[in-house]
Amino acid sequence: MSRTGIRVAIDGPSGTGKSSVSKMVAREFGYGYLDTGAMYRALTWWCVDQQIDLADVDAVVAQANSFDLRMGTDPSNPTVAVGERSIDQEIREHALTVLIAPVATNLGVRAVMKQRQRDLMESLAAEHGGVVAEGRDITTVVAPDAEVRILMTASEEARLARRSKELSASVEATRAQIVDRDRSDATVSQFLTAADGVTTIDTSQLTFEQSVQAVLQVIGEATGRG
């Protein structure tokens, strides 16, 4: 166990059930919940709002260092705000999603976010006895020493079906969005294959409840909780 509590790191591409499962698992144990992807979305929104050129690497890094990001980490009601402004809806809009790539692949930004995410994980684990953090580089970069490290995967067919349903979009439109995002993020993080010591859970044929149980089992085996 870490100095402060149990850290559960869950990586994987979109459409695997990662977010909904992570929140449910955090609720089950009374842990804090951290959506690291939302942090990159929030920074993208902030830069657009401040008319910062997303291609200006140094300018975006400067914003990453200084913007007043506030992450609500209750798994039953996770929130994202910059200062006093709630941006939960704005960061999920398609118009913003297509702008994220230059921010998420900015190595300077990733270094800043890595430290922020590590600090948040430690503080949440201390406060709640544990934290579930989900993203794309938590098991390998942010918390490679986490007590529990899981990679959630699923077939492309299953991922597309889930995401198109969530987005109320056609499978083909969803395919372009998912494939492009995966290709971009894969240049800076390893989230399609498990690193050494990371447990893989394939959710292609699993229901939501079965996926939750699979994660709970891994946590139980690693920590003695179940």
Kindly tell me if the per-residue pLDDT of 27 is higher than 90: yes
CATH number at residue 35: 3.40.50.300
In a domain, 1, yes or no: no
* Residue 144 falls inside a structural domain: yes
Domain membership of residue 150 (yes or no) is: yes
List, in order, residues 6 or more apart from 138 with CB less than 8 Å away: 9, 10, 11, 36, 117, 146, 149
Residue 53 within any structural domain of the chain: yes
Domain for residue 58, yes or no?
yes
**pLDDT at site 226:** 56
Q: What is the pLDDT of residue 163?
A: 72
Task: Give the model's confidence band at 157: pLDDT under 50 very low, under 70 low, under 90 confident, else very high.
Answer: confident
For residue 70, give every residue at least 6 positions away whose Cβ sits within 8 Å of its Cβ, in sequence order, or none: 79, 80, 81, 82, 83
Count structural domains, the chain: 1
Full domain range(s) for residue 95: 6-220
- Residue 111 included in any domain: yes
Residue 189: pLDDT above 90? Answer: no
226 in any annotated domain:
no
The reply to whether 94 falls in a domain is: yes
Strands 130-135 and 148-153: unpaired
Q: Mind listing the pLDDT tens digit for each residue in 112-125? A: 999 999 999 999 99
